[in-house]
């Protein structure tokens, strides 16, 4: 991220935070979900830069969401900050574990193995009567360090929380992209042999990327669970993963901000499509994806990157 894009990001953050109380509640809810999903998408972006596509990112998303739902149900803890940390940790730990296997695979094998992992969780959730089976169960309203807002105020509070976490995540990922491990993404895609012979384990590097993406997925899922006040196995289903991949392609891997813009555009598009063509909204989404791949192959981010990108392109 250049200084200019940091500035634009900070400005967007302030404008959104200030304008939120004046915006219609449906838009606030939509934006909250969109930004929570954008965190999951940022995880996919991190992997995509290294040439890896996960078709099972809903695994971490669902683990984050169910972690929040279970903890609040069985311990009574409803504090959003605690729950988000727990959701991120649970998903991150899972990523550490499955990463030992996943980090050894590439390309279609990586994609399908990720999918397989998420389908196992989906199957377990569907079969578990205690967790409401296919219906899932409700999540108690979140509280914020003792503050317990209701109704529209709760939605606003959640929106602000998502906004702050998005800003933190964007800043942290910006730092990561400029670090040794973060910058060695295209090189991984280009030539793993050279990296190994320079003295770095590519598998460990990918494992690290998986864990970062897992944490982001878990935090996104935790936020979604609190926003929707409900969890169900669909959160782990492959169509959910597919939605994240959709947004990743829409946004492109070139810019952090694009993940948020892309995710928001996707949620808007889906709402409009469902309203216009209730039975066939997938038709509209599919067409948009087609157009994106044909005409904006590097994603929305490339549209505004072209102008800001200077000569010193970093090894992305």
Would you tell me which residues interact with other proteins (CB under 8 A)?
A: 175-176, 178-184, 186-187, 189-191, 193-201, 204-205, 207-208, 212, 311, 314-315
Q: For residues 172 and 268, which CB has a smaller minimum distance to other proteins in the complex?
A: 172
CB-based contact 30:162 (threshold 8 Å)? no
Q: How far is the CB of 171 from other proteins (least distance, A)?
A: 14
Least Å from the CB of residue 310 to other proteins: 12
As a whole number of angstroms, the distance between CA 156 and CA 245 comes to 28
Report in angstroms how near the CB of residue 175 gets to other proteins at its nearest: 8
247 is written with which tokens?
Answer: 């947004």
Q: Identify whether the C-beta of residue 141 lies closer than 8 Å to the C-beta of residue 77.
A: no
For other proteins, the closer of residues 85 and 186 by Cβ is: 186
Minimum CB separation of residue 241 from other proteins in Å reads 25
Paired tokens of 49: 């830069």
Cβ nearer to other proteins, comparing 127 with 178: 178
CB of 172 to other proteins, least distance (A): 10
How far apart are the C-alpha atoms of 265 and 92, rounded to whole Å? 28
Please, which residue, 198 or 275, has the CB nearer to other proteins? 198
Question: Of 29 and 203, which CB lies nearer to other proteins in the complex structure?
Answer: 203
Alpha carbons 6 and 137: distance in angstroms, whole number? 39
Structure tokens at 145: 């360090």
Q: 18 or 193, CB closer to other proteins? A: 193
Closest distance to other proteins from the beta carbon of 254 (Å): 13
Task: Give 82-87's long-range contacts (Cβ < 8 A, gap of 24+).
Answer: 83/142, 83/222, 83/226, 84/161, 84/165, 84/219, 84/222, 84/223, 86/222, 87/63, 87/218, 87/219, 87/221, 87/222, 87/225
Q: What is the CA radius of gyration of the chain?
A: 19
């Amino acid at each position: 991220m250049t200084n200019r894009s940091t500035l634009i990001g900070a400005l967007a953050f302030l404008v959104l935070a200030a304008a939120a109380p004046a915006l219609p509640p449906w838009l606030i809810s939509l934006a909250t979900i969109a930004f929570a999903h954008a965190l999951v998408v940022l995880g996919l972006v991190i992997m995509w830069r290294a040439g890896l596509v996960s078709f099972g990112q809903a695994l971490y998303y669902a683990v984050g969401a169910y972690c929040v739902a279970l903890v609040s149900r069985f311990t009574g803890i409803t504090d959003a900050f605690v729950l988000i940390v727990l959701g991120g940790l649970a998903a991150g730990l899972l990523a550490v574990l499955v990463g030992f296997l996943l980090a050894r695979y590439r390309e279609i094998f990586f994609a399908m193995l990720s999918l397989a992992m998420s389908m196992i969780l989906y199957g377990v959730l569907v079969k578990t009567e205690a967790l409401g089976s296919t219906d899932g169960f409700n999540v108690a309203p979140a509280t914020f360090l003792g503050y317990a807002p209701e109704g529209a105020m709760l939605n606003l509070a959640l929106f602000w929380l998502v906004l702050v976490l998005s800003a933190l995540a964007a800043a942290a990922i910006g730092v990561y992209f400029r670090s040794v491990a973060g910058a060695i993404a295209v090189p991984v895609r280009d030539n793993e042999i050279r990296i190994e012979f320079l003295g770095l384990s590519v598998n460990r590097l990918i494992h690290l990327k998986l864990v970062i993406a897992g944490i982001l997925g878990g935090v996104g899922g935790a936020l979604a669970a609190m926003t929707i006040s409900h969890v169900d196995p669909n959160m782990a289903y492959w169509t959910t993963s597919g939605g994240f991949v959709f947004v990743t392609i829409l946004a492109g891997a070139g810019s952090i901000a694009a993940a948020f813009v892309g995710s928001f555009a996707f949620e808007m598009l889906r709402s409009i499509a469902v309203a216009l063509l209730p039975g066939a909204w997938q038709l509209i989404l599919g067409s948009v994806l087609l157009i994106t791949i044909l005409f904006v192959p590097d994603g929305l981010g490339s549209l505004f990157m072209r102008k800001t990108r200077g000569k010193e392109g970093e090894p992305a």
